[in-house]
Every structure is written in C-alpha cells, then in structure tokens.
Amino acid sequence: MKFFTSLIFKKVFIFSFASCLFGIANAQVNVNSETYYDNVEEVAVTSVSVTGFNKITGMQWTLEYDTSVFEIDDIMSSGILPGIGSDNFYFYQPGFITFLWIQPGSVLNGETIPDGSEIYRIKSKLKSAQPGDFCITGSVTPFEVNDDDNRYVGGLLSCNQKNGIFKGTVFIDENADCDYQVSEPSLKNWYISFNNGTDSYFTTTNSDGEYFVFVPEGTYDISLIPKSDIWDACNQNLSGIEIETGDVLDINLGAESNEICPAMEVNLSTSFLRRCFPSTYYVDFCNHGSAVANQSYVVIDLDPYLTYLSSSIPFGNQNGNSYTFYLGDVAPGDCNQFSIEVLVDCDSTVLGQTHCTTATIYPNSPCTGGDEKPNLKINKDCVDGQASFSVKNIGNKDMDEPAFVTIYEDGELSPQSIIQLNIGEEENFSFQADGVSITMQILDNLLTGSNLLATTGIEGCGRNLSGEFSKGFISQFPLGDDELWIDIDCRENRGAYDPNDKTVFPGGFGNEKIVKPGVALEYLVRFQNTGTDTAFKVVILDTLDTNLDPATLQTGASSHPCEIKLLDKGIIKVTFDDILLPDSTVNEAASHGFIQYKIKPKNNLANFSKVKNRASIYFDFNDPIITNTTLQTIGSSVIIFTNTDFISDEISMRVYPNPATDNIQFSIQGNNIENLSLCVYDTNGKTVFKKNGFEKNIQLERKNLPAGLYFFSLHDDQNNRVSSGRIIFQ
C-alpha cells in the first residue's frame, strides 16, 4: 500500500460533472465504509471498498466522522486505482473528508476493478472509548460516480462499525459493595480477560485505572487478574454478558484486599554479561500489596566472578559480594528502578561460564504469620572437585511426606533419592564433579514435577581430563525463584552476539529442550540501534504462542522506562517512548536495550506440547526486525532407576523381583534388623505400606496397588535412613 506520510492536504477543485445526472443506471457502484478497531495499534481503521466498479472515470463523496472520537492519523491508498494521492482528499471543515478521483490521462475510457476491492484506508487515533463510523454524507459534496459515458451510476452505500466496546475503571473496593465511588483509588497496569467461549481478549488499565477493549459481538465472561495474592476480584456477576456491534458497556471492576499487607516484587536482568568488560544490571521493584512497605530494601548477591563498580543509588551495607540498597517507604502500586554496573572478571573466567546473581527484596514475610509449613533450603560448596549439597528444613513444620531428590549431571538424570526432614534437620549429599555441571532439584512429585521445593546448581567444580569444565547446563533448569520477592539471574558470559534477539529461561534439557509443566518461562528480548541516527521510539510486539496462558504474565526488568500492555488475543506490547537510543557508531554501550517478562504454559497441555515464540522490534517508523524463534517442549520425561542406595555398611538388602507384576520380596541381612522399619510411598508421597520391626524377609503384597513407580525407605530406631530405593509394579 502507498502510505501518505504528510497530512497537510491541499485544497482541490471539487469537480462538477458537466452532464446531467441520468439517475441510477443498470450497473451501480456500491461504496462501503467499514470501521473496526485495532486493539494492538490502538487505532480505528476505516476501510472504504467498492463493488460494481466497471469502466468508472470519476467519483466524489464526503465521509463524515465525529471529531470527539477520532483524530485522523494517516490515509493509505491500496494502489489498485491509479492516480490516488494526497491531492484526492480535502478537509472541507472539521468532521468531514471529501474524496475526489478522476481517471488520469487524456483518454477517459474508465477503470475496472474486482468487486469488494479496498481503494483506501483511514487510520485514526482514538480520543475516547466511544464507537463511531466514517459514513458517507450528502451534506457537503454530492455522492457521485460516473462511467465512461459520463453517466451517473452511483447508488447504494453503507457504513458499518464492526466492534462492541467494554470500558470502565478498575478500583480498590474500600467499602466492599462492588460499586465504584469516585473517591476509591484506581489500579493501574492490571490485566482483564474477556472470554467468549472461543477466544479470550485482554486489555490493560492505564495510569488512571481505566480500560477499554473492542470485541466482536457475543457473550463474554469477564475476569480481573490480580497482581498478587493480596487481592481478590470483587464478587460481581461477570459471566454471560452479551454485547452487540455498536454497544458500549461500561463495567467497573473492583478488587478487595484479603489482607492489609505489602507485597513486594523484585526483578533483575541485564542485556548481557561481556567477559572482561563492564555490564549493567537493572533492578525493578514494585509494591503489589495493600499497605506501605516501610523501610524497604533490596539485597543483591553478586556472582563471585563479578566485581561491583558503581550504582545509580548508593548501597548502604556491604558484606563480601553482597550489597544492600535502601529504598525507603514504597506505597501500594508504586514501582521504581535502579542499576548496578559490574565487571566480569577476565583472568579467572572462561568464555561461556555461567554467572548467577540474586536480588531479594524486603519486607517479604506474611503480615499475619503465614501457614505452618516446611521450607527446604539447599547450601552448596565445592572443594577439590567434590560438589557437596546440604538440604535443611528451615521451616516451622516437619515434612509430613517425603520429597524426591533428583540430580542432573550435565543435563543427564542420575539416580533419584527421597528425603523427609523434621524442623531443623538436614541431610548431606556429595558428588565427585570433576568439571561436570550438577543440578539438584527437590520435587513433591517425581513424575510430574508439579512443585519444585528447592533447587540449585554447581558449575566449574574441578576440571575434567582436558582441564576444562562443562558449561551451559545451569540455565536449562528452573532456578527456584517463583516468589515475587526474589529473582535469580543466571547468565552465561559472552563475546560476540546478535544485537536483536530473544532468549528464554529455563532453556530446557535434552535435545527436545524439555521444561516441566507449571514452570514459568522467562523471556528476554534484546535490541540495539544499529542504524545511523538516534531512535526516539522503540516498540516490541510479541504474539504469544497459543500454548501460553496470557493471564499469568508477569513483567520484569527493563533497560529503560517503558509501558507494557497485554492486548487483544494475547499480544504483549512494549513501548519505549522518548528512549533517545543512540546509534551504535556514536555510543555502542548506550545503544542497547532489553525487556524481560515471565509467563506460564497453559494447564493440562498434552505431554510434550511445543511452545514457540518470537518478537517484532520496531525502531521509530522502520520495518520491524524479527527475532529468532525460541522453542521449548512442555512435558515430563523421567528416567527411573530401580537400584537400591545404601547409607550403612552394616546392612545389605535384596529387593526382588523388580520390576514386578505381583508381590515383591525384601530380604535383609545385618545386625539389629529387628529395630528397622520399612515404608513404601507412591510418587505423591503417600504411604502405601509400613512395617515396624523388620524380619529377615518381608513380602509386599500388591493387592490393589496400581502399576507405576514406588519408593521405599529403611530407617533405624532413631529414624535415621539406612537404605532407600525404587520399585516398579508393572
């Protein structure tokens, strides 16, 4: 399409056809003006099309529109008719656009185009959330279409508006009546879903808590998506709401706090960590709660191979590579950012090495004390190529059921174990690493990985026979930072890079890049101005894969202030206004930018469902740069080891047959076996068999146990685990 960049239209002579109007001829030209609304570009688009356009030499008409609704932005020709340019349009007075076209050339033999052809399109900025049309009117210029015999053949015309509109305000329902009062505070940057049973449409509230969204006519369920667990949607009947084309339904949406408490969120990211060069972390924080976060602060634990250089706000305390930044009081709904410049060490690192930095924001404790529950923490260490992990229950409750310990060595699953700790108890694990990357995960369900209780990883512990160590495996797995108040950034340092790309964490393990269900995918879109002039505006559009759940979107850190919206059928729109991004030849370091966000796959996806994603990056009015496509596989792929692990040298056990179709025998030899107890669990941690006081041989009768994987654990009279293993009923 031809794009008219100038909106200073020249006044033109309104052509008056010389001949008399012969009335409606047999062949009529029907003109249709149809206006629809683009939720992503946030503009109204009016398409003017024709049918019966046979040997036409000239035409003119006037479109009338409401200036309180529309502000004309651009007019585009489809290029199907020759001779259409800016001189064909005339703004006679506010609210009217006159269009005149005469076949170019000295011979007027008429133009013919296919029925339904669009001849031009009008884009308009919306001045209010009201419906409107561009309709043909006869009040300024007659509606005329003439053929090659100079006969008037115009006749039918129509104008249509294709959408209905939901609009309103999202507010804090302070008096719990679900009715909006002007005095009640509004909520900015909240997401709303409109589902018609087939599609879901999304929108985002503006700085005043207002929203509007254009949807096809239908019946909708409306859902308000809270920013944190502090909030519940007001108990309004928002199901089965019917809307028709042209309707404007004003629906205010209330949110009620279930607890007067702050809910702090922190996000940490960087464009890249360049080995031997300075790099900048950006730390974004928000209070998504219902109370002021008094004397809030962030603790940044830098990777051991990173050196602090400077920061946009001063740090208050330092303990080794741990820095505390005091933020003061943070009001509900307030967000801010600071940055930290670090140096990636050159002498003690290698290219591609992973560096993990953690941001933790305070306060982060429940205001009402919280539930009693176990809380597992893993400490790690490396000494002379020996990787050690210490798992401790730092919670306020014993573990009622065992959890499952999985170990990945260079992305390959090693034998599993089980663990069940009382308050304050800990259990130690050690491995000869010799340069292998080791990741430990503790899960409440081995097969589904539905709840990751704790995780950590070690890279670069010792060296292999070639004097090197494995790299790139830490980022394949989730980092255990699902809570709003903590964010862990694990990044491989790099040299050369693609300036406009997209990455995802976790990357997934194996050739299929498998990520377990329920794990949030954290996307990072990086951009760089490689042009020849300053970029004043950058827009990123990300159309989410249909296997992702837009309602779970969490915005993260960014390199510059920006506006992030969730729109239409699941499109993320990021706008960096007035970014003033210099080109790379003028200031290479400042020519970079990024945006980070998290989103979860939909629940109940088929195992091994694929998630593909890419983004479009727009610099000012240039054509978009399309990033690479990321690919993850959502599913559970578990290798089961059926061997028996022994902790005590004084005990030996034989378990047979394993796998089994019927009963399984446990045969044990050693001292004081009468004091031992045997427990068998399913993959959900439920006890299915227990025997106190061990005999030389114990038979586990299958009875009604379903086929699948089971775990057993052998304990002494002090509840110390002396053996464990896995059995399978086929």
Question: What is the topology classification, in CATH, of domain 372-478?
Answer: Immunoglobulin-like (2.60.40)
Predicted pLDDT at 450:
58
**642, 645, 649, 652: CA torsion to nearest 10:** -30
Record the pTM.
0.81
Q: How many CA atoms lie within 13 A of 575 on its CB side?
A: 11
Residue 18 has pLDDT above 50, yes or no: no
Angstrom CA distances, 113 to 17, 49, 54, 82, 517, stand at 22, 11, 7, 11, 53
For 554-578, the pLDDT digits (tens) are 999 999 999 999 999 999 999 999 9
Beta bridge partners of 627: none
Residue 352 has pLDDT above 60, yes or no: yes
Burial class of residue 143 in the structure, from the number of CB atoms within 10 Å of its CB (0-12 exposed, 13-18 middle, 19+ buried): middle
Q: Where in the chain is the domain with CATH 2.60.40.740?
A: 498-639
Q: Where in the chain is the domain with CATH 2.60.40.1170?
A: 264-362
Locate 416 and state its tokens. Answer: 């599993």
Is the CATH number of domain 2-161 2.60.40.680? yes
Map residue 474 onto helix, strand or coil. Answer: helix
Predicted pLDDT at 548:
98
Residue 718 has pLDDT above 80, yes or no: no
Write down the CATH superfamily of domain 264-362. Mu homology domain, subdomain B (2.60.40.1170)
Beta bridge partners of 360: 299, 486
Question: What is the topology classification, in CATH, of domain 644-729?
Answer: Immunoglobulin-like (2.60.40)
Predicted pLDDT at 637:
59
* CA dihedral over 551, 556, 560, 561, signed as positive or negative: positive
Contact 376, 409 (CB under 8 A): no
Q: Where in the chain is the domain with CATH 2.60.40.10?
A: 164-257, 644-729
Predicted pLDDT at 650:
65
CB under 8 Å to 52, separation ≥6 — which residues? 27, 28, 29, 30, 115, 153
Q: What value does the mean pLDDT take over residues 275-290?
A: 96
Write down the CATH superfamily of domain 164-257. Immunoglobulins (2.60.40.10)
DSSP, residue by residue, 530-589: -SSS-EEEEEEEEE--TTB-GGG-EEEEESS--EEEEEBTTEEEEEEEEEEE--TTT-TG
**When comparing pLDDT for 60 and 675, which is higher?**
60
Map residue 518 onto helix, strand or coil. Answer: coil
What CATH number belongs to 498-639? 2.60.40.740
Contact 379, 389 (CB under 8 A): yes
**460, 462, 468, 469: CA torsion to nearest 10:** -40
Residue 619 has pLDDT above 90, yes or no: yes
For 496-534, the pLDDT digits (tens) are 777 899 999 999 988 889 998 899 999 999 999 999 999
For 408-456, the pLDDT digits (tens) are 888 877 766 788 899 999 999 999 999 999 999 998 865 555 578 999 9
657-664 contact pairs (CB < 8 A, 24+): 658/727, 658/728, 659/727, 659/728, 659/729, 659/730, 660/702, 660/727, 660/728, 660/729, 660/730, 661/702, 661/729, 661/730, 662/702, 663/699, 663/700, 663/701, 663/702, 664/699, 664/700, 664/702, 664/727, 664/729
- Average pLDDT of the chain to the nearest whole number: 87
Site of tokens 């900015």: 188
For 106-131, the pLDDT digits (tens) are 888 899 999 999 999 999 988 876 76
For 263-281, the pLDDT digits (tens) are 999 999 999 999 999 999 9
Contact 475, 490 (CB under 8 A): yes
For 136-177, the pLDDT digits (tens) are 776 666 778 888 777 766 666 677 777 889 999 999 999 999
